[in-house]
Amino acid sequence: MRSSYRHLPDGPEEALQPIGVALTYTYMTTNRAKVLLWLLHMPSCCSMAVQFGHIAGYPTGSPFKNREELRIAGLHSQNMAGISGNAKTGADAIVVSGGYVDDADYGEIIIYTGHGGRDPNTGRQIRDQELIDSGNAALVRSELEGLPVRVIRGRHNKRHHQSPFAPSSGYRYDGLYRVESHWAKMGVDGFRVWQFRLVKLKDGEVSTPKDTSPASIDQYAVGPAPVTTSIMQRIVRNSMIAHIVKSWYSHECQVCGLAIQVEGGLYSEGAHIRGLGQPHHGPDVPENLLCLCPNDHVRFDNGAIYLTDELHVMDALTGQAVGQLRVHKNHKIDLRHVAYHRECWTKD
């Protein structure tokens, strides 16, 4: 019997997550039913949640037998692909198993090759990689927004080159990294590959120099926080709040309307109205955050522009209004913080 190869879980419930439609979809067999469910699934498929940061119950060092276990645990959404996530929300996890010849694993630093352009049988590159491929663009998005990426190392088999950091069997969760930079280069097979430099985030490392704010808003927490990693969760949460605000504006600056375009996506910055930490103690909440282009971020942080209570944008040099702040309907801006910022930069 050919079908006797197939590995099925002992009971449907134990191996599958409780996500109604997805569960049903998994067990549909006829093509017609699949198409129907696919159509039903389409309108909501873009809002699939992507979990950033640590996953509760799976501390750094947690072992996994295979990719399926990683998927069920929620550490990595893909069954085969190395990059989990999408271009819009960012990459939440990668699997490092040396599958690409241009990879390099230095432990705390990983040079990770993007996907695409590979012959699935030989593993060699047979064409150029594209940055707009969703997985590659997802890593760019994580870089632009400072999102933490879960790194999972897999056993390196004979086809892959060896890394001393790879587990001897299965997969191992190795903690959170940030995407520091990316670039294109000619791969060893003679085709362009995109590469990403990932640097391990240490407990105690802060993502922004000014960040000493109390982690006071639990509604933006990304999943249940593991007990021993509160600092890490705060970093994650900061990124996520900026992520939410930026998404309201599609990275368009609230002052000038510009969205910086780079290959792989749009860029904007989350600017705190009332500074975080000493001595301002501004909260890290959407009500205290603006989505700005880098130029207006610098102008705002240094008092070259400030806001009135009517959210007019004021030029500090001339004292004249130069525009109206753009505000999304979901974005409630706390005027107390606006006043605090204004009083830092005006004489009376």
Q: Let me know the angle formed at the C-alpha of 86 by 204 and 156, rounded to the nearest 5 degrees.
A: 70
151 binds DNA (CB under 7 A): no
Among 51, 54, 90, 103, binds DNA (CB under 7 A): 103
> Residue 66 and residue 63: Cα distance in Å, rounded?
9
Report in angstroms the alpha-carbon separations of 56 from 94, 202, 228: 18, 18, 11
Of the candidate spans 98-106, 177-185, 207-215, 263-271, the one that interacts with DNA by CB under 7 A turns out to be: 98-106
CA–CA separation, 293 and 258 (whole Å):
7
Closest listed residue to residue 345, CA positions, set 317, 312, 324: 317
Contact of 245 with 331, CB cutoff 8 Å = yes
136 part of the interface to DNA, by CB under 7 A = no
SS3 string, 286-302, reads HHHEEEECHHHHHHHHC
# chain residues binding DNA, by CB under 7 A:
53
The span of 22-30, 218-226, 264-272, 333-341 binding DNA (CB under 7 A) equals 22-30
For DNA, the binding residue among 146, 154, 187, 286 (CB under 7 A) is: 154
Question: Is 86 one of the binding residues for DNA (CB under 7 A)?
Answer: yes
Residue 165 binding DNA, by CB under 7 A: no
Q: Does 167 bind DNA (CB under 7 A)?
A: no
x/- mask, DNA, residues 34-63, rule CB under 7 A, reads: xx--x------xx-x---------------
Select from 153, 157, 217, 206 the least CA-distant residue to 178.
206
Check binding of 26 to DNA (CB under 7 A).
yes
Under the binding rule (CB under 7 A), the answer on residue 113 touching DNA is: yes
Long-range contacts of 339-347 (CB under 8 A, 24+ apart): 339/309, 340/273, 340/274, 340/280, 340/282, 341/273, 341/274, 341/300, 341/306, 341/307, 342/306, 342/307, 342/308, 344/303, 345/303, 345/306, 345/316, 346/306, 346/316
**Residues 177-216 contacting DNA, CB under 7 A:** none
14 lines the binding site for DNA (CB under 7 A): no
Residue among 14, 31, 43, 278 that touches DNA (CB under 7 A): 31
Interface with DNA includes 25 (CB under 7 A)? Answer: yes
Quick one: CA dihedral 94, 96, 101, 107, positive or negative?
A: positive
Q: Are 158 and 183 in contact, with CB atoms under 8 Å apart?
A: no
Please give the sequence-ordered ranges of beta strands (E in DSSP) within 49-88, or none if there are none. Answer: 63-64, 83-86
Asked if 24 interacts with DNA (CB under 7 A), we say no
d(CA 180, CA 162): 24
Minimal distance in Å, beta carbon 81 to DNA? Answer: 4
Structure tokens at 161: 């080159």
For position 104 contacting DNA by CB under 7 A, the verdict is no
Exactly one of 51, 54, 55, 100 binds DNA (CB under 7 A); that residue is 100
Task: Choose between 25 and 345: whose C-beta lies nearer to DNA.
Answer: 25
Residue 229 contacts DNA per CB under 7 A? no
- Which one among 120, 209, 279, 319 touches DNA, defined by CB under 7 A? 120
Residues 6+ apart with CB under 8 A from 219: none
Q: Which is nearer to DNA, 98 or 275 (CB)?
A: 98
- Note the residues at the interface with DNA (CB under 7 A): 2-7, 22, 25-26, 31, 34-35, 38, 45-46, 48, 66-68, 71, 77-83, 85-87, 95-100, 103, 112-113, 115-118, 120-121, 133-135, 154, 157-160
